[in-house]
Structure 1
């Protein structure tokens, strides 16, 4: 195992950021190379906990010569976001300087342009240099896992349709309840990786990518950071690596993925019709029917007409819910995975900012 720090110079004098990287050299050149990172949104820490325990397994495997394919692990992928505290609260999703989501605006390039990411580096801001370093490392692999979490959520993933259903092995290994099949139309990290692979050949764009995977894994909610769940999640990733031939060892007999797999167009984004205190009537993991009461918004507490009901537009599974109990008008409340497309207009790309 090799541990090194990537140094990212700050945008002001006397400031620099250190990005710790763990590397394991495989013994079989033909085995898949793997890249795993966590906490790109710096306040989303279930993935960091998972990787802490996964690295224990990888160190033991390395000592036993059981690492078959090269593995790169970045347990805290965003030291810039980790240092952003505003009135005592970690602000890890958006860069406070540029107001940009740390998981957006990754360069959309072809695989052949990978090394260009690190050229003329001084012309870029610290955040852009961080993004370019992360993307450069990921494009050296065939299997890429970007570990995130939601506010309150089930275990689920965003997976480009180009990788499905082959990626059902990861969904099964992590006991996911849902998979949201993305359209690859955003500049988020995992979609930037997929974009480079799809555009590997200059003359045609690939629509399927067998043997490869770039995925955003959502490890439940921000508060689900416990040793028991982190160890279980690490076991799941380990089983995935076993199945893909990245590491050697005996594999558990896992049940097939039995959750919902729906395209993003079939996700109902439930938004608050008005501002007020939120009273949820339904929880994550519950199946709902069209017309079911999901939440009540107290728009004018104490008044006879002081509340507004929010109901399910169609049948589906509640995948996420916000943890805040005050909503602004049109703020997100829930995601519901449904069998039919939503009637609400949706732009290509990600569901949220």
Structure 2
């Protein structure tokens, strides 16, 4: 194993950021190569815990000669966000200087243009250098897995249509309860990788066999427990074994039995008015159109001071906010539905 650091110089004198990187050299040149990163949103830590236990497994596998493909693991990919603590809470999702989401505004380049990502880095901001460096590293692999989590959530993933259903093995290995089929039209990290994989020269490819770019949502932000992280690491190990990245005689393939839902079928349940949130339904619940999801206390103490929030479609509650006060228009839930929930959704991500 090679343990190194990526160093990102700060935008003011005397500051630099360091990212640990772990690399394992595979013994089979024909085996797929893998890049795994966690905590690009610095306050999303289930992936960091998973990576910690996965690295234990990989070190043992290396000693046993079981590493077939090259593996790169970046267990804490965003030291800039990790250091942004304000009023007692980490601000790991948005870069405070630019107010930009750390998982947006990645350059969209063709795979053959990979090296251009590192041109004139010294002229760019620290956040931009971080993004370009991570994307450059990822584009050197065949399989790219970006570990995130939601607020309160089931285990699910965003997977571009170009990688589905081949990626069903990852969904099965990690016991995902849903897959959201994305359109690959944003500048998020995973979709920037997918853009490069689909633009290898000539026309855009509709499918990319043997490649993968995926965002895995490892439940919610508070779901950071040793047994859970170990189980997730074992699941990711099973995926690596199935793809021939590691050797494991005990590997047994599993089928994915959950739903694969286009983003057009995701109902974003939002607060129509500001108020205190009283939830009636939880993640994992199956609901019918018209079911009561939450009550908003909009004018406390008044006889007509509440507002009912109901499901617009049948489906599975995949996520829920942990906040118990909602501003007008804020997201309360995502429901994975059996039919399209709207026809005017713009291509790209569901949230900023």
TM alignment of 1:274-313, pairs within 5 A: 274-313=273-312
**Aligned counterparts of 2:344 and 2:320: Cα–Cα separation in 1:** 21
- RMSD across aligned positions (CA): 0.8
CA 1:19 to 1:150, structure 2 compared with 1: closer, same or farther past 3 Å? same
Find the residue that maps to 1:304 and give its secondary structure.
Answer: coil
**Aligned counterparts of 1:244 and 1:55: Cα–Cα separation in 2:** 18
**Aligned counterparts of 1:20 and 1:55: Cα–Cα separation in 2:** 12
Q: Does 1:218 align with 2:183?
A: no
1:239–1:251 Cα contact (<8 Å) kept: no
Structure 1 residue runs of 5 or longer lacking an equivalent are none
**Aligned counterparts of 1:91 and 1:219: Cα–Cα separation in 2:** 19
**Aligned counterparts of 1:272 and 1:121: Cα–Cα separation in 2:** 42
Partner of 1:158: 158
Q: CA deviation at 1:254?
A: 4.6
**Aligned counterparts of 1:63 and 1:136: Cα–Cα separation in 2:** 29
Q: Does 1:12 align with 2:12?
A: yes
**Aligned counterparts of 1:343 and 1:9: Cα–Cα separation in 2:** 44
Q: Does 1:350 align with 2:349?
A: yes
Q: Does 1:191 align with 2:191?
A: yes
Partner of 1:264: 263
Q: Which moved more, 1:248-257 or 1:31-40?
A: 248-257
Q: C-alpha offsets along residues 319-349 of structure 1, whole Å, 9 cap, x if unaligned? A: 0000000000000000000110013631110
**Aligned counterparts of 1:275 and 1:47: Cα–Cα separation in 2:** 33
TM alignment of 1:1-353, pairs within 5 A: 1-201=1-201, 203-343=202-342, 345-353=344-352
Find the residue that maps to 1:191 and give its secondary structure.
Answer: helix
Q: CA deviation at 1:252?
A: 3.7
1:243–1:251 Cα contact (<8 Å) kept: no
2:169–2:254 Cα contact (<8 Å) kept: no
**Aligned counterparts of 2:116 and 2:3: Cα–Cα separation in 1:** 24
**Aligned counterparts of 2:301 and 2:6: Cα–Cα separation in 1:** 56
CA 1:74 to 1:150, structure 2 compared with 1: closer, same or farther past 3 Å? same
Structure 2 residue runs of 5 or longer lacking an equivalent are none
**Aligned counterparts of 1:113 and 1:252: Cα–Cα separation in 2:** 37
When the two structures are aligned, how many residues end up with a matched partner? 352
- TM, length-normalised to structure 2: 0.99
**Aligned counterparts of 1:150 and 1:141: Cα–Cα separation in 2:** 26
